[in-house]
Amino acid sequence: MKRARPRLLDHQGHVSPDIVSRSRPLAHRPTRPQGAPPRRATGTPHAIARISMLLALVPICIISLSCSNVDKDWEKATRANTVSALDRFLRNHPASPYAQDAHDRIARLWTDSAPLGVTCEVLSNLKVRVTWTQMTGAREYVVYRSNDSIPEGHVSHAHAHVDLPSFVEKADGDDFGRRLTLYYRIAAVRDEGTSRQSRVAAVHLLDSIAGTRCQLCGAPAKGFCHIRRIHVCEEHNVFLQDDGSYMRCP
């Protein structure tokens, strides 16, 4: 017959749960024999192998995604087939397998194009201002000037090199004195080559029609300016000098 475990009572004669919980024996924990080797965690080699495999796959995934982006961007650039689209591709992927092909395409497009919107005018101080539409990627522009119309395909000497799509020069006095018309063409330059020359733009002084018309704008003439040797209207009677000051014809 089992002997009954003695019951622990509190000061009021009731069984105390706290006392019971403290009186319960601790679970038996097996102890490792002294001198025995430490137990290795089960599954550790397999976990390390899986982690190593995942780490090895990360560069492959990155390369695959990068190649996919390059192919998509190249397809987009070739579909557009413009200098700006190909330039954008080269900026984003300068070392891609398509880089040389992109440069070749740009060279073909560039040498087959020409600056647009070339206009020129005579300013009140008898300077000539030539402007044109900027070409994306142009490193500089070559200004060609002649006293003839510079026919298409004609090889002429460069008159000036500028960085911006604008050019201002002081025309020779003899040019306007003899009422010669000046002709301008523009070409754009970048690393891949030089574009075709633009269409010709001409500038000249108007005929005064016996001193009744302004030779700059065609408005009714106020009189003859002895400084510039042209007939001018009220608006163009004042002109800007090279030092930045304004001069009024007497």
Give me the torsion for CA of 211, 217, 222, 228, rounded to 10°. Answer: -80
In the CATH scheme, what is the code of domain 114-204? 2.60.40.10
3 state SS of 236? helix
Helix pair 99-111, 44-80: axis angle to 10 deg: 10
Classify 23 as helix, strand or coil.
helix
Spatial distance between the Cα atoms of 216 and 69, rounded to a whole number of angstroms: 57
Closest among 163, 154, 162 to 183, alpha carbons compared: 154
Per-residue pLDDT of the chain (250 residues; tens, 9 = 90+): 555 555 555 555 555 555 555 555 555 555 666 666 666 555 566 666 666 666 655 555 555 445 568 899 999 999 999 999 999 999 999 989 999 999 999 999 999 999 999 999 988 888 899 999 999 889 999 999 887 776 665 656 788 999 999 999 887 655 665 567 888 999 999 988 999 999 999 888 888 999 999 999 999 999 999 888 889 999 999 988 878 899 898 7
* Residue-range domain boundaries for the chain: 68-112, 114-204, 206-250
The C-alpha atoms of residue 103 and residue 221 are separated, in whole angstroms, by 55
Contact between 15 and 9 (Cβ < 8 Å): yes
Q: pTM score > 0.85 for this model?
A: no
Write down the pLDDT at residue 157: 72
Asked if 70 contacts 96 with a C-beta cutoff of 8 angstroms, the reply is yes
pLDDT at 3: 57
Q: Which residues contact 92 (CB under 8 A, 6 or more apart)?
A: 73
Q: In 3D, which of 237, 242, 200, 184 has the Cα closest to residue 215?
A: 237
Q: What pLDDT is attached to residue 192?
A: 87
Helices 83-92 + 99-111 axis angle, to 10: 160
